[in-house]
């Protein structure tokens, strides 16, 4: 269901990722053998989409520790001074990986979570509580523990993809047509389809859900990725340019909009691919329900509102020449290329999560679902 490719896989200790920059022309898999490879693949969007970035970063942190420990004998007990050196080196690599992209919170979530696991290992070496204390640790044990944590991040993404799919079914009815922006489907996760999981599940039950995909300028995630994965999974998909969304809505072709999210603030404001906020405003104008679908790991309760979310700015070439046979803008023209925008929570009908659908008021209901009520 919704998954005829592996976005990321670990084979014989090597991280292999599907190169999304080459889709839909070629299905090519690349190996990430160093922390630099992982950073580069995240930066260049070889792997992209908030949750997949998080999963990749989890394995990247395991790889980073492997590099830090390279040369140390697998089964040797490490000395306290060595642990301090390892700690410093590992933190440096964590900072580096975290710097690959700023907006999707799942990157820093995964890096922090892997650091947290490492901190628990260190704490267990000096614990006053005899039931938790361990006398020593070996490189192999450290790597096993970090791999287990990375695997847990991966498994949780797979689980939440499925649960979001099931809860998302609540808003779908047979014969509906939805509009989506960017790619937040199976290619943006390890699971059965990210936000598109509900579509795949519904269609397995004969709902016949159709999808309009915004092409999503400038990197064309809608045209290259969403259209590709939906078509591959036999979903009736129609591609439109971003500036056609208003027309198809006005023509009554769209019953609901569902998009993914890169970071949701505590008040429900949501950063997603540039263009999303415009679609949300149009949906409100035409009375079309607008949903975000995201795992709770994408909700950042430490960020109060959308104004506090850092928006990535990318290379001007993505606007002026990428995808064109020849440059389409005058040389030296000013270009502004923010990769994300923030949709105000007032435009959001509901938020589909692995714990259920959250409805307004978000400043009350998000803390509830996140278990951080006063």
* Catalytic residue numbers, as ranges: 262
Residues in the chain: 374
Burial of residue 93, with CB atoms counted within 10 A of its CB: 0-12 exposed, 13-18 middle, 19 or more buried: buried
Least gap, CB of 364 to ligand MRU (angstroms): 24
Least gap, CB of 41 to ligand MRU (angstroms): 12
Give the nearer residue to ligand MRU in terms of CB position, either 15 or 219: 219
Give the nearer residue to ligand MRU in terms of CB position, either 146 or 187: 187
Least gap, CB of 31 to ligand MRU (angstroms): 21
Cβ atoms 216, 240 nearer than 8 A: no
Give the nearer residue to ligand MRU in terms of CB position, either 45 or 369: 45
**Residue nearest ligand MRU by beta-carbon distance:** 260
Least gap, CB of 294 to ligand MRU (angstroms): 7
Q: Which residues contact 183 (CB under 8 A, 6 or more apart)?
A: 48, 49, 216, 221, 222, 225, 226, 229, 260
What are the helix and strand counts (H, E) for the chain?
12, 14
Spatial distance between the Cα atoms of 76 and 96, rounded to a whole number of angstroms: 28
Q: Which residues contact 231 (CB under 8 A, 6 or more apart)?
A: 237
Spatial distance between the Cα atoms of 325 and 9, rounded to a whole number of angstroms: 34
Instruction: Please report, as ranges, the residues that interact with ligand MRU according to CB under 6 A.
Output: 45, 48-51, 104, 182, 184, 188-189, 194, 221, 260-262, 272-273, 339
Give the nearer residue to ligand MRU in terms of CB position, either 35 or 226: 226
3-state secondary structure of 256: strand
Alpha-carbon separation of residue 220 from 127, 169, 217, 223, 350 (angstroms): 51, 27, 5, 5, 26
| Radius of gyration of the chain measured on its C-alpha atoms | 21
Give the nearer residue to ligand MRU in terms of CB position, either 66 or 314: 314
Give the nearer residue to ligand MRU in terms of CB position, either 60 or 194: 194
Spatial distance between the Cα atoms of 145 and 158, rounded to a whole number of angstroms: 20
How far apart, in Å, do the first and last CA atoms of the chain sit? 40
Least gap, CB of 373 to ligand MRU (angstroms): 26
Least gap, CB of 314 to ligand MRU (angstroms): 8
| DSSP β-bridge partners for residue 257 | 179, 290
Spatial distance between the Cα atoms of 161 and 270, rounded to a whole number of angstroms: 19
């Amino acid at each position: 269901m919704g998954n005829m490719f592996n976005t990321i896989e670990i084979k014989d200790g090597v991280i292999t990722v599907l190169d999304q920059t080459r889709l839909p022309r070629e299905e090519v898999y690349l190996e990430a053998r160093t922390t630099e490879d992982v950073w580069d693949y995240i930066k260049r969007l070889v792997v992209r989409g908030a949750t997949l970035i998080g999963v990749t970063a989890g394995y990247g942190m395991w790889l980073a520790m492997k590099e830090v420990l390279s040369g140390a004998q697998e089964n040797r007990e490490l000395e306290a001074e060595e642990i301090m050196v390892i700690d410093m080196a590992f933190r440096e690599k964590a900072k580096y990986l975290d710097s690959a992209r700023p907006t999707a919170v799942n990157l820093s979530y995964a890096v922090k979570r892997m650091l947290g696991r490492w901190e628990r290992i260190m704490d267990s070496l000096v614990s006053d509580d005899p039931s938790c204390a361990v006398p020593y640790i070996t490189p192999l044990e450290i790597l096993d523990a970090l791999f287990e944590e990375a695997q847990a991040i991966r498994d949780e993404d797979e689980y939440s993809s499925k649960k979001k799919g099931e809860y998302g079914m609540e808003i779908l009815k047979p014969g509906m047509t939805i509009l989506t922006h960017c790619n937040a489907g199976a290619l943006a996760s390890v699971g059965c389809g990210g936000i598109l999981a509900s579509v795949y599940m519904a269609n397995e039950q004969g709902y016949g859900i159709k999808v309009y995909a915004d092409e999503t300028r400038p990197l064309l995630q809608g045209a290259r990725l969403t259209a590709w994965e939906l078509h591959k999974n036999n979903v009736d998909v129609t591609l439109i340019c971003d500036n056609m969304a208003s027309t198809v809505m006005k023509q009554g072709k769209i019953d609901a909009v569902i998009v993914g999210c890169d970071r949701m603030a505590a008040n429900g404001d949501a950063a997603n691919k540039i263009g999303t906020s415009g679609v949300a405003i149009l949906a409100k104008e035409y009375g079309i329900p607008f949903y975000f679908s995201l795992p709770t790991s994408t909700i950042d309760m430490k960020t109060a509102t959308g104004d506090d979310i850092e928006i990535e700015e990318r290379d001007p070439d993505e606007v002026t020449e990428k995808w064109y046979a020849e440059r389409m803008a005058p040389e030296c023209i000013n270009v502004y290329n923010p990769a994300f925008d923030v949709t105000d929570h007032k435009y959001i009908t509901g938020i589909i999560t692995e714990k259920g659908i959250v409805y307004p008021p978000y400043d009350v209901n998000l803390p509830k679902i996140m278990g951080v009520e006063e």
